[in-house]
């Protein structure tokens, strides 16, 4: 029943925004803008002191809305939340986003009590709540931004579902993702997790056809056993990447005040998460970068990596990173070595790591070398490192060959370029499942995520 309500939450046909206003100092203003800019269905602003909000007819209360809205977004003072949710439930609404803060997360004695009371109400109706104390959520594929951040909907559409216990982290990751063109299916701020927590989201996302990988930013875990069982179940179907904050005591203490749960012992939790099937990320950059690789590429079932670079320096850094994080720079087969000696001239490096610098302006030849390496049965995965030429058409990325090689073996690419200029190259590669990263280190780490997931799947 909760699963059904979650389905409605992410695919509503009508949405009420309670606290909708044109006063920019209020969350309700940004929430209604978010909905208006994203949502094609019926929108019902609820505000007893206004007839209209941004040209939409406003309603004084849930009872006066012509139909029970599928989703209600609440941005009103804490003390009015319970009564309002009750009225919506009575009308038949089963999905809520509660932005309002001040429940069990803060230094207020009655917060916990109010939290519990609200939960009982919601649970008994089979309804679901994202929040309270959240920015909300956005579903970029179904087309609803139920958050106080209109710009969330300007993020690129993609196949990663980001589920975060911290809204701030989402708001940091989103511009990071925008700079590097990382796409999302959904971005969800769990907030205080009244009755939608990681396990519910995992269960829902496992079946969500818009989502290919799941990224979790975790602070505290209420019910570790349930969470771990769900990760075990879901990770067989879809890769789950988890970053666990609260590694040390100081951060842990902050977690309690923040979303009302202790972060728990970092090592115990990450070992458990890993054992149950999560790919572990240690930084925010890793979290989205891993999720990106896993949303695009096949799992990697071996350690032997071919490193192919347009410039030797990148090849060195990529090779170092491979060895440092537990992958190997592959030994090419005799056949591959012979073929590379045949097709590539001196001044290039015709062994792993391959350096194509001297033939950089011959994309056909570079592409042929990349495909040759991809055919080597001693190679399990590939990282390709390219630089931007800066000089007109002097240098061209052999997109077609890279894509072909990426179909043969799990592959990531490092290509960094001045903002704007090679977005089409990146777009072509990524739409054919080759994830592009800004540095060789993070490109190799992308392969490591594929390897970790390969290990998880092999374990069964």
Within positions 431 to 450, which residues make up the interface with a copy of itself, using CB under 8 A? Answer: 438-441
Choose the binding region for a copy of itself from 55-63, 83-91, 272-280, 312-320 (rule: CB under 8 A): 312-320
Which of 56, 121, 151, 457: binder of a copy of itself (CB under 8 A)? Answer: 151
Cα separation, 308 vs 179, in Å, equals 25
Q: How far is the CB of 349 from a copy of itself (least distance, A)?
A: 5
Residues of this chain, 4-33, that bind a copy of itself according to CB under 8 A: 24-25, 29-30, 33
343 binds a copy of itself, rule: CB under 8 A = no
Helix H or strand E encompassing 98: strand 95-98
* Number of residues counted as binding a copy of itself (CB under 8 A): 89
Which of 158, 191, 264, 353: binder of a copy of itself (CB under 8 A)? Answer: 353
291 binds a copy of itself, rule: CB under 8 A = no
Whose tokens are 């649970």? That residue is 123
Is-contact 302 331, C-beta < 8 A?
no
Which of 1, 3, 113, 178: binder of a copy of itself (CB under 8 A)? Answer: 178
The residue (of 43 and 329) whose beta carbon lies closer to a copy of itself is: 329
Q: Partners of 305 in the beta sheet?
A: 329, 381
Is-contact 228 197, C-beta < 8 A?
no
Whose tokens are 């990751």? That residue is 173
What is residue 262's DSSP assignment? -
The residue (of 39 and 437) whose beta carbon lies closer to a copy of itself is: 437
285 binds a copy of itself, rule: CB under 8 A = yes
Residues of this chain, 119-148, that bind a copy of itself according to CB under 8 A: 148
303 binds a copy of itself, rule: CB under 8 A = no
Which of 108, 113, 268, 325: binder of a copy of itself (CB under 8 A)? Answer: 108
Report which of 398, 397, 434, 438 is spatially closest to residue 418, judged by C-alpha positions.
Answer: 438
175 binds a copy of itself, rule: CB under 8 A = yes
The full DSSP string for 125-158 is TT-EEE-SSS-EEEETTTTEEEES-GGGGGSPEE
Q: How far is the CB of 193 from a copy of itself (least distance, A)?
A: 14
Residues of this chain, 207-266, that bind a copy of itself according to CB under 8 A: 217, 219, 245-248, 250-251, 253-255, 257-259, 263
77 binds a copy of itself, rule: CB under 8 A = no
342 binds a copy of itself, rule: CB under 8 A = no
Q: How far is the CB of 441 from a copy of itself (least distance, A)?
A: 5
Beta-carbon contacts of residue 433 (< 8 Å; ≥ 6 apart): 296, 297, 403, 406, 407
Choose the binding region for a copy of itself from 46-54, 55-63, 349-357, 452-460 (rule: CB under 8 A): 349-357
Whose tokens are 């909708």? That residue is 20
Give the three-state DSSP class for 367.
helix
Beta-carbon contacts of residue 324 (< 8 Å; ≥ 6 apart): none
- List the structure tokens of 282: 């240690």
CA distances from 325 to 13, 385, 441, 442, 449 (A): 47, 18, 10, 11, 11
352 binds a copy of itself, rule: CB under 8 A = yes
Q: How far is the CB of 131 from a copy of itself (least distance, A)?
A: 14
């Amino acid at each position: 029943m909760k699963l059904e309500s979650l389905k409605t939450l992410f695919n509503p046909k009508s949405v009420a925004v309670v606290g909708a206003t044109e006063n920019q100092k209020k969350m309700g203003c940004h929430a209604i803008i978010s909905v208006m800019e994203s949502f094609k269905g019926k929108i019902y602003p609820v505000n007893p002191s206004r007839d209209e909000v941004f040209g939409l007819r406003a309603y004084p209360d849930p009872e006066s809305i012509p139909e029970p809205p599928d989703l209600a977004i609440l941005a009103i003072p804490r003390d009015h939340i319970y009564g309002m949710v009750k009225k919506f439930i009575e009308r038949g609404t089963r999905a809520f986003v509660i932005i309002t803060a001040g429940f069990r997360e803060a230094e207020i004695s009655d917060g916990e009590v109010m939290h519990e009371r609200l939960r009982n109400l919601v649970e008994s109706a089979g309804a679901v709540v994202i929040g309270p104390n959240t920015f909300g959520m956005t579903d970029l594929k179904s087309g609803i931004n139920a958050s106080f951040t209109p710009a969330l909907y300007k993020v690129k559409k993609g196949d990663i579902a980001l589920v975060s216990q911290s809204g701030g982290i989402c708001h940091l990751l989103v511009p990071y993702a925008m700079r590097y063109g990382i796409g999302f299916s959904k971005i969800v701020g769990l907030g205080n997790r009244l009755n939608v927590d990681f396990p519910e989201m995992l269960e829902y996302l496992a079946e969500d056809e818009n989502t290919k990988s799941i990224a979790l930013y975790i602070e505290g875990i209420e019910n570790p056993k349930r969470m771990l069982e769900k990760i075990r179940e879901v990770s067989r179907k879809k890769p789950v990447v988890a970053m666990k904050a609260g590694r040390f005591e100081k951060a842990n203490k902050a977690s309690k005040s923040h979303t009302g749960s202790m972060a728990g012992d970092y090592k115990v939790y990450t070992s458990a998460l890993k054992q149950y099937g999560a790919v572990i990320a240690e930084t925010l950059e890793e979290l989205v970068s891993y999720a990106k690789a896993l949303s695009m590429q096949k799992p990697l079932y071996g350690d032997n990596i071919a490193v192919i670079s347009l410039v030797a320096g990148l090849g060195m850094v990529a090779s170092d990173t491979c060895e440092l994080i537990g992958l190997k720079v592959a030994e090419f087969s005799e056949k591959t070595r012979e073929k590379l000696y045949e097709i590539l001239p001196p001044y290039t490096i015709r062994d792993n790591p391959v350096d194509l610098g001297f033939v950089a302006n011959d994309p056909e030849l570079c592409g042929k070398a990349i495909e040759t390496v991809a055919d080597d049965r001693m190679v399990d995965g590939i990282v390709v490192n390219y630089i931007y030429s800066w000089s007109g058409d002097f240098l061209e990325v052999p997109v077609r060959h890279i894509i072909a090689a990426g179909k043969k073996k799990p592959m990531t690419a490092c290509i960094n370029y001045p903002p704007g200029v090679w977005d089409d190259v990146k777009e072509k590669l990524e739409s054919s499942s080759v994830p592009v990263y800004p540095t060789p280190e993070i490109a190799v780490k992308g392969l490591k995520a594929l390897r970790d997931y390969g290990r998880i799947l092999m374990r069964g």
